[in-house]
Every structure is written in C-alpha cells, then in structure tokens.
Amino acid sequence: MEYEIKKEGKFDYVEVGEGEPLMLLHGLFGALSNFSDLIEHFKHTHKVIVPILPLYDLDLLHTTVKGLAKHVQQFIDHKGYDQIHLLGNSLGGHVGLVYILSHPEKIKTLILTGSSGLFENAMGDSYPKRGDYEYIRAKTAETFYDPAVATKELVDEVFEITNSRIKVIKIIALAKSAIRHNLGDELGQIKVPTLLIWGKNDKVTPPFVAEDFHKLIPNSELAFIDQCGHAPMMEVPAAFNVILEKFLQAQAK
C-alpha cells in the first residue's frame, strides 16, 4: 500500500484515519513499509501518524537520539497532537522514551517493540566495507526469526543506505548515541500504561531486555511472540495487531 507523504516545512509524515492519534516511530533502517500492516489495520479506529525521522538530515552534532527526539517534539507541537498512543520499534522506541521523559503530558500510552535504550547488539565490531551486499543480506536476515522476511527489496533498501558514505557516518553516530544513552535510571518516571511486544527470538534486543524494561517501567505489561525476531510488526503482523488492539481497547474504557 502506498501512502502520501505530506510535507510541511521540515516535517515529512504520513497521516491516515480518524480517532485518537497512534504515532509510529521507525528504527535506524526503518521505512514506511515496516508499518504497512499496522497502518492498514489501525487506520479504521485511529489517526495513524508516521513521522519520517531525519536520520540523515541533521548535522553530525545533532545526529543523536536526543536530536531525533527534539524533531519529534517539534513535529508534535507543530501539529498540535495530544493524548498520543506512541509506538516505537528499535531506535524509534528509544526516541519515544526520550520524548516521553520530557513531555509525559502529551502521551496516553507507550508501546515498545524491540526498543533500544537499555541494551542492543550493534551491526558488529566493524562496519562492513561499502559494497558488501552479502554481508548486508546476512545481517538483514538476522533481524528476523524467518530469514525469508528479508526480501530482496528490503535488502536492497538497506544496501542502498549502507552504500552511501555520509549515511554510514550518520548511522554509526546514531548507533553510538543509542549505546551511550542508557535510560535505566529514568524509566521509573514513566507512569502511562506501557505495552512491551517482543520477539522471543530477537537477537538485537534479546528477551532479557524486554524483561528489564518490564521491571523498570512501573505500569507495564509484556507480551512475547514466539518464533519472531526484532521487528514483530513486520514478521508477524497479525499476532502483533491482536496484542496491540486488545491493549488499546482496554485503555479506551
């Protein structure tokens, strides 16, 4: 499904449906395609919003988790959204956490899936040489329990990103920022209902990370999905949507 990307000033975003805002924050190699099943499902009950995070557009000094969270803050202020259901995958979850810690009044619920912020396995000890397609294919496949989810189209998307020198520099900067910016001491401040949806076979943010988030965020619940990796909303969208819908319905009461 193709969605119109709206442009307003420095903000690029998708907005479909009506109802309470459900904002989706993508990860480091994220794209709209990551959320296509989720958007299709929830656009009938919510206003689904996907801001395109400026992963490669910020100057190097601000190419950080905090820099991205500031962009999200400016976008939310610009649009006037309130009582947001905020969902983040991987780096997007980390950005969402930094945002909610500064602006809790704007958020109704928080949903994290494969989020960084406590621990994550990076691409590896050394970044691959540009042009190493096979390495990128293998690393992309590792994101999922079922390597078949890493389609050629998806691998090509990641390969194109990693083949750009400036994009690689920005990716490394963001990855290092995520590792440095550990939120363990601050998660107890989050009071909104929080849902953790985690792949049982996540190699990037393994299950113990979900358990730690669950312990540290007071009003949280944890749902594991078996035979699922780092991006449940892509790999097992039907199961993911059932868990999320039940959670959102409970908050609507």
Least reliable range by pLDDT among 45-49, 88-92, 163-167? 163-167
The number of angstroms, rounded, from the C-alpha of 2 to the middle of its chain's C-alpha atoms is: 20
The 3-state DSSP class for residue 11 equals: strand
Distance CA 199, CA 154 (A): 19
Distance CA 98, CA 69 (A): 6
pLDDT at 74 over 70: yes
pLDDT digit string (tens) for 137-186? 998 999 999 999 999 999 998 899 888 889 989 988 998 999 889 999 99
Give the pLDDT band of residue 225 (cuts 50, 70, 90).
very high
Distance CA 86, CA 111 (A): 6
- The full set of domain ranges for the chain reads 6-120+182-252
**Cβ of 157: how many Cβ atoms within 10 Å?**
17
pLDDT at 116 over 70: yes
Q: Give me the pLDDT at residue 128, please.
A: 53
pLDDT at 207 over 80: yes
Q: Give me the pLDDT at residue 1, please.
A: 67
User: What average pLDDT does range 40-62 have in this prediction?
Assistant: 95
pLDDT at 92 over 60: yes
Least reliable range by pLDDT among 98-107, 126-135, 151-160, 238-247? 126-135
User: What average pLDDT does range 16-29 have in this prediction?
Assistant: 95
pLDDT digit string (tens) for 30-44? 777 889 999 999 999
Q: Give me the pLDDT at residue 125, please.
A: 43
Distance CA 188, CA 184 (A): 8
Distance CA 144, CA 89 (A): 13
CATH numeric code, 6-120+182-252: 3.40.50.1820
C-alpha separations of 40 from 44, 124, 232, 247 in Å: 8, 34, 16, 18
Give the pLDDT band of residue 216 (cuts 50, 70, 90).
very high
Q: Give me the pLDDT at residue 124, please.
A: 44
pLDDT at 127 over 80: no
